[in-house]
Amino acid sequence: MQHLHSYWRMEYIEAPKPPQGGRLFTELPRLGDDRVALIVHRSSLSYLVLNKYPYNPGHLLAVPFRDVADPAELTPAERADLMDSIILAQEVLRAAVRPDGFNIGLNLGSAAGGSVTHLHAHIVPRWNGDNNFMPVLGQTRLLPQALGATYERLRAVLPGVLARRRRKPGARKGKASHRRRKSR
Protein backbone atom coordinates (compact mmCIF):
# COMPACT_ATOMS: atom_id res chain seq x y z
CA MET A 1 0.00 0.00 0.00
CA GLN A 2 1.21 3.46 -0.90
CA HIS A 3 0.94 6.29 1.63
CA LEU A 4 -0.12 9.77 0.62
CA HIS A 5 1.00 12.51 2.97
CA SER A 6 -1.01 15.68 3.55
CA TYR A 7 1.18 17.55 6.01
CA TRP A 8 -0.92 20.73 5.75
CA ARG A 9 -3.68 18.91 7.67
CA MET A 10 -1.61 19.15 10.86
CA GLU A 11 -2.20 22.92 10.86
CA TYR A 12 -5.93 22.19 11.09
CA ILE A 13 -5.57 19.35 13.59
CA GLU A 14 -3.31 21.32 15.93
CA ALA A 15 -5.07 24.68 15.55
CA PRO A 16 -6.91 25.93 18.61
CA LYS A 17 -10.57 25.04 18.29
CA PRO A 18 -13.12 27.85 18.49
CA PRO A 19 -15.11 28.08 21.71
CA GLN A 20 -18.35 26.07 21.73
CA GLY A 21 -20.39 29.25 21.49
CA GLY A 22 -19.14 29.80 17.95
CA ARG A 23 -17.39 33.09 18.80
CA LEU A 24 -14.99 32.70 15.87
CA PHE A 25 -17.34 34.42 13.44
CA THR A 26 -18.12 37.31 15.78
CA GLU A 27 -14.42 37.89 16.50
CA LEU A 28 -13.14 37.82 12.89
CA PRO A 29 -14.79 41.11 11.85
CA ARG A 30 -13.34 42.78 14.95
CA LEU A 31 -9.71 41.99 14.08
CA GLY A 32 -9.46 45.31 12.24
CA ASP A 33 -7.56 43.96 9.23
CA ASP A 34 -9.69 42.22 6.63
CA ARG A 35 -6.64 40.79 4.87
CA VAL A 36 -5.51 39.02 8.06
CA ALA A 37 -9.08 37.88 8.78
CA LEU A 38 -9.46 36.81 5.10
CA ILE A 39 -12.69 38.85 4.87
CA VAL A 40 -13.26 39.48 1.18
CA HIS A 41 -16.36 41.71 1.51
CA ARG A 42 -18.61 43.27 4.15
CA SER A 43 -22.23 44.23 3.62
CA SER A 44 -24.40 45.93 6.21
CA LEU A 45 -25.52 42.68 7.90
CA SER A 46 -23.11 39.95 6.76
CA TYR A 47 -19.65 39.31 5.37
CA LEU A 48 -17.80 36.96 3.02
CA VAL A 49 -14.68 35.25 4.35
CA LEU A 50 -12.35 32.68 2.83
CA ASN A 51 -12.52 29.32 4.56
CA LYS A 52 -9.14 28.79 6.22
CA TYR A 53 -9.39 25.05 5.53
CA PRO A 54 -11.05 25.01 2.09
CA TYR A 55 -12.52 22.11 0.17
CA ASN A 56 -11.43 23.88 -3.03
CA PRO A 57 -9.59 27.14 -3.78
CA GLY A 58 -11.99 30.04 -3.34
CA HIS A 59 -14.21 28.26 -0.78
CA LEU A 60 -16.09 31.18 0.79
CA LEU A 61 -18.35 31.46 3.82
CA ALA A 62 -21.24 33.93 3.98
CA VAL A 63 -21.71 34.87 7.63
CA PRO A 64 -24.25 37.14 9.32
CA PHE A 65 -22.66 39.56 11.78
CA ARG A 66 -25.23 38.61 14.42
CA ASP A 67 -24.52 35.27 16.11
CA VAL A 68 -27.50 33.00 15.43
CA ALA A 69 -27.53 29.22 15.01
CA ASP A 70 -30.48 28.78 12.64
CA PRO A 71 -31.82 30.66 9.59
CA ALA A 72 -35.20 30.94 11.35
CA GLU A 73 -33.54 33.27 13.89
CA LEU A 74 -32.57 35.81 11.22
CA THR A 75 -34.66 38.91 10.64
CA PRO A 76 -36.12 39.32 7.13
CA ALA A 77 -33.45 41.95 6.40
CA GLU A 78 -30.67 39.60 7.59
CA ARG A 79 -32.03 36.75 5.45
CA ALA A 80 -32.13 38.97 2.36
CA ASP A 81 -28.63 40.31 3.05
CA LEU A 82 -27.18 36.83 3.62
CA MET A 83 -28.72 35.57 0.37
CA ASP A 84 -27.34 38.61 -1.45
CA SER A 85 -23.89 37.83 -0.01
CA ILE A 86 -24.16 34.25 -1.28
CA ILE A 87 -25.03 35.51 -4.76
CA LEU A 88 -22.19 38.04 -4.62
CA ALA A 89 -19.82 35.20 -3.69
CA GLN A 90 -20.89 33.32 -6.81
CA GLU A 91 -20.38 36.41 -8.98
CA VAL A 92 -16.92 37.09 -7.55
CA LEU A 93 -15.86 33.45 -7.91
CA ARG A 94 -17.14 33.32 -11.50
CA ALA A 95 -15.08 36.40 -12.33
CA ALA A 96 -11.95 35.27 -10.46
CA VAL A 97 -11.68 31.50 -10.90
CA ARG A 98 -14.33 30.52 -13.48
CA PRO A 99 -15.79 27.41 -11.82
CA ASP A 100 -18.05 24.97 -13.68
CA GLY A 101 -20.52 24.92 -10.77
CA PHE A 102 -21.01 25.46 -7.05
CA ASN A 103 -21.92 23.58 -3.90
CA ILE A 104 -23.82 25.95 -1.61
CA GLY A 105 -25.07 24.80 1.75
CA LEU A 106 -25.59 25.08 5.48
CA ASN A 107 -24.53 22.54 8.10
CA LEU A 108 -26.93 23.05 11.01
CA GLY A 109 -25.94 21.16 14.16
CA SER A 110 -23.06 18.80 14.86
CA ALA A 111 -24.94 15.79 13.44
CA ALA A 112 -25.08 17.61 10.09
CA GLY A 113 -21.36 18.39 10.14
CA GLY A 114 -21.58 21.84 11.72
CA SER A 115 -18.43 22.55 13.74
CA VAL A 116 -19.31 26.17 14.62
CA THR A 117 -22.75 27.10 15.94
CA HIS A 118 -22.74 30.57 14.34
CA LEU A 119 -24.82 30.27 11.16
CA HIS A 120 -22.79 30.41 7.96
CA ALA A 121 -23.26 29.30 4.36
CA HIS A 122 -20.55 27.50 2.39
CA ILE A 123 -20.02 28.58 -1.21
CA VAL A 124 -17.65 26.05 -2.79
CA PRO A 125 -16.56 26.51 -6.41
CA ARG A 126 -16.42 23.24 -8.35
CA TRP A 127 -14.78 22.22 -11.61
CA ASN A 128 -15.52 19.26 -13.82
CA GLY A 129 -13.22 16.45 -12.70
CA ASP A 130 -12.13 18.12 -9.44
CA ASN A 131 -13.26 15.13 -7.39
CA ASN A 132 -10.50 12.76 -8.43
CA PHE A 133 -9.02 9.82 -6.55
CA MET A 134 -7.02 11.94 -4.10
CA PRO A 135 -9.90 13.01 -1.82
CA VAL A 136 -11.93 9.88 -2.47
CA LEU A 137 -9.25 7.26 -1.83
CA GLY A 138 -6.34 9.20 -0.41
CA GLN A 139 -8.30 11.45 1.96
CA THR A 140 -6.08 14.23 0.59
CA ARG A 141 -7.03 17.43 -1.19
CA LEU A 142 -4.75 19.15 -3.63
CA LEU A 143 -5.08 22.92 -3.42
CA PRO A 144 -3.19 24.64 -6.24
CA GLN A 145 -3.23 28.11 -4.69
CA ALA A 146 -2.31 29.56 -1.29
CA LEU A 147 -5.04 31.36 0.70
CA GLY A 148 -3.29 34.73 0.41
CA ALA A 149 -3.11 34.43 -3.38
CA THR A 150 -6.77 33.42 -3.54
CA TYR A 151 -7.70 36.39 -1.32
CA GLU A 152 -5.85 38.82 -3.62
CA ARG A 153 -7.45 37.30 -6.71
CA LEU A 154 -10.98 37.64 -5.29
CA ARG A 155 -10.37 41.17 -3.99
CA ALA A 156 -9.01 42.19 -7.42
CA VAL A 157 -12.28 41.35 -9.21
CA LEU A 158 -14.64 42.56 -6.46
CA PRO A 159 -14.80 46.25 -7.55
CA GLY A 160 -15.77 45.25 -11.10
CA VAL A 161 -18.42 42.82 -9.87
CA LEU A 162 -19.89 45.45 -7.53
CA ALA A 163 -19.89 48.05 -10.35
CA ARG A 164 -21.76 45.65 -12.66
CA ARG A 165 -24.31 44.99 -9.91
CA ARG A 166 -24.96 48.71 -9.50
CA ARG A 167 -25.63 49.04 -13.24
CA LYS A 168 -28.13 46.15 -13.32
CA PRO A 169 -31.79 47.17 -13.30
CA GLY A 170 -33.37 46.23 -9.97
CA ALA A 171 -30.00 45.83 -8.24
CA ARG A 172 -30.06 46.14 -4.46
CA LYS A 173 -29.17 49.57 -3.22
CA GLY A 174 -26.91 48.69 -0.28
CA LYS A 175 -26.10 51.33 2.28
CA ALA A 176 -22.57 51.84 3.46
CA SER A 177 -21.98 49.88 6.62
CA HIS A 178 -20.61 51.26 9.83
CA ARG A 179 -18.87 47.88 10.09
CA ARG A 180 -16.64 48.38 7.04
CA ARG A 181 -12.92 48.50 7.55
CA LYS A 182 -10.34 49.22 4.94
CA SER A 183 -8.10 46.34 3.88
CA ARG A 184 -4.44 46.99 4.44
| Positions marked catalytic | 120
Q: What is the CA radius of gyration of the chain?
A: 17
Is residue 63 classed as helix, strand or coil in its secondary structure? Answer: strand
Q: Using H for helix, E for strand and C for coil, what is the string for 112-170?
A: HCCCCCCCCEEEEEECCCCCCHHHHHCCCCCCCCCHHHHHHHHHHHHHHHHHHHHHCCC
Residue by residue, DSSP assigns 71-87 as GGGS-HHHHHHHHHHHH
The secondary structure element, H or E, covering residue 48 is strand 46-50
Burial 131-166 (b: 16+ CB within 10 A, else e): eeeeeeeeeebeeeeebeebbebbbebbeebeeeee
